[in-house]
Amino acid sequence: MALCVLLLSSGCASLKPDPLPSWNEGSSKQAIVGFVSKVTTPGSPDFVPVPERIATFDNDGTLWAEQPLYSQLFFVLERVKTLAPQHPEWKTKEPFASLLKGDVKGALSGGDKAVAELIGATSTGMSTAEFDALVTQWLATAKHPRFNQPYTAMVYQPMIELMAYLRANGFKTFIVSGGGMAFMRPWTERVYGVPPEQVVGSSGKTQFELRDGKPVIMRLPELGFINDGPGKPVGINEHIGRRPILAFGNSDGDLQMLQWTAAGSGARFMAFVHHTDAAREWAYDRDSSIGRLDKGLDEARAKGWTVVDMKKDWAVVFPFAAK
């Protein structure tokens, strides 16, 4: 009888559900599971107390698709078209003129300055509550141009599973993105399980006002903080106050976040999502104007960080593609 119970118990243990079913078996999955096991097992030399189990994730290209443009840029471009009748001067003023002619590449040729001008003209001069409502309404109707899916469906199923797996093991998961913090906060809890207070991103300046006797926070057309590249460790320090022990990115804009994570003591896990699947998503790295992974790829390979090969390591990319 005792032997039968033992055998049955062993069988049940072997049938324990896989917490990462969309990850193919291989070195990347093994590295993740091995790291989580050693930092959460009491008595392990690498054990990390729960309060210190901080995991940070980039958003664009790490948690959801960033091609052919960042999703927030699609939102901004739509806002330009909506507001154009109120701004006849945009017909001759760049970057608006090119955009209204359908020349997105020309409109964005001005780089960060052009993007900042577009965002300032379309996403400020309103309260934070009004902006939240605009983002929520846009996400409810807008569709990705290639897959004809809502942008919130363009998330990576393996990464959704990974964040849930980490939280089940005492981790607190944060989004640390170069994207707009106000653009992400209205929907990240519903889509990723990450509440707004655990979202760190780029931001514009705001101010408190009383309007019709009611307190509001107004969005000003002034740049605040750019949470990208070297700004990411700064944003982590200011908003989180603890150094991560796990960090995931996908581009050179995430390199400093991974370097900051790696510089801490004890067990550390640093990883890049490498976009290698042109059929199910896109294949790009060193020469891409969006999500370039060049220096980061070299450093990851030199230092033994995990490089997740999307084509090889992921059985499923998007939730809508799962059988």
* Tens-digit pLDDT profile for residues 213-234: 999 999 999 999 999 999 999 9
**Structure confidence by residue, pLDDT tens digits, 97-120:** 998 998 988 988 888 888 889 999
Predicted confidence (pLDDT) per residue in 143-152, tens digit: 999 999 999 9
Q: Is the pLDDT of residue 163 over 60?
A: yes
- What φ, ψ does residue 52 adopt, rounded to 5°? -95, 0
Place 55 in a pLDDT band, splitting at 50, 70 and 90. very high
The reported pLDDT for the residue numbered 2 is 55
Domains in the chain: ranges and CATH: 18-318 (3.40.50.1000)
- The pLDDT value given to residue 14: 55
pLDDT in tens, 232-277: 999 999 999 999 999 999 999 999 999 999 999 999 999 999 999 9
Q: How far apart are CA 317 and CA 315, in angstroms?
A: 7
Longest dimension (CA), the chain: 86
Q: What percent of the chain has pLDDT over 90?
A: 89
Question: Which strand ranges, in their side-by-side order, compose the sheet holding 306-309?
Answer: 214-225, 199-211, 172-180, 54-57, 246-249, 269-274, 306-309
Mean pLDDT computed over every residue of the chain? 94
Q: Which residue spans within the chain are E strands per DSSP? A: 54-57, 172-180, 199-211, 214-225, 246-249, 269-274, 306-309
pLDDT number for residue 37:
98
Q: What is the pLDDT of residue 105?
A: 87
